């Protein structure tokens, strides 16, 4: 990833919006920046068939949500659950200052909270 990749995701976000028949959804906010991410997953046979997002807030937050949806497309649930905050920072691929890290990891945290609730 590079700044170009971030710009591409901002110009044409991957799976931005609400899909037709999501199984599960959830949202999370980052009060420090005013970011809010909502994720909608359609899970079919233990695989993330599609994940869509809606993101409000700063550009990093929006780009990270879009990148996460793209990277997790077609992944099985175990692999999706293993996606870490370090992974999204690596996928974004540009240096992030400590106070902006939360903007990038919000989408991953949202995903984790959805999956945890699924298992419960």
Q: How far is the CB of 44 from Zn ion (least distance, A)?
A: 32
Q: How far is the CB of 12 from Zn ion (least distance, A)?
A: 20
Q: Which lies closer to Zn ion via its Cβ, residue 19 or residue 57?
A: 57
Q: How far is the CB of 120 from Zn ion (least distance, A)?
A: 29
If you write DSSP's letter for every residue of 27-66 in order, what string do you get? Answer: EEEETTTTEEEEEEEEEETTEEEEEEEEEES-HHHHHHHH
Q: Which lies closer to Zn ion via its Cβ, residue 48 or residue 103?
A: 103
8 Å CB contact between 37 and 107: yes
Q: Which lies closer to Zn ion via its Cβ, residue 33 or residue 77?
A: 33
CA torsion through residues 21, 11, 107, 26, sign: negative
Question: Please, which residues bridge with residue 38 across strands?
Answer: 27, 54
Residues that bind Zn ion (CB under 5 A): 33, 35, 57-58, 61, 103
């Amino acid at each position: 990833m590079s700044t170009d990749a971030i710009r591409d995701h901002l110009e044409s976000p991957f799976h931005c919006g609400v899909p037709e028949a999501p199984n599960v959804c959830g949202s999370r906010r980052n009060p420090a920046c005013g970011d809010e991410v909502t994720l909608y997953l359609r899970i079919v046979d233990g695989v993330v068939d599609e994940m869509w997002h809606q993101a409000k807030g700063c550009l990093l937050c929006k780009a990270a949500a879009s990148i996460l949806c793209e990277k997790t497309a077609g992944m099985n649930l175990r692999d999706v659950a293993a996606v870490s905050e370090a992974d999204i920072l690596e996928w974004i691929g540009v240096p992030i200052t400590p106070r902006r890290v939360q903007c990038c990891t919000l989408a991953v945290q949202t995903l984790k909270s959805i999956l945890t609730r699924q298992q419960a």
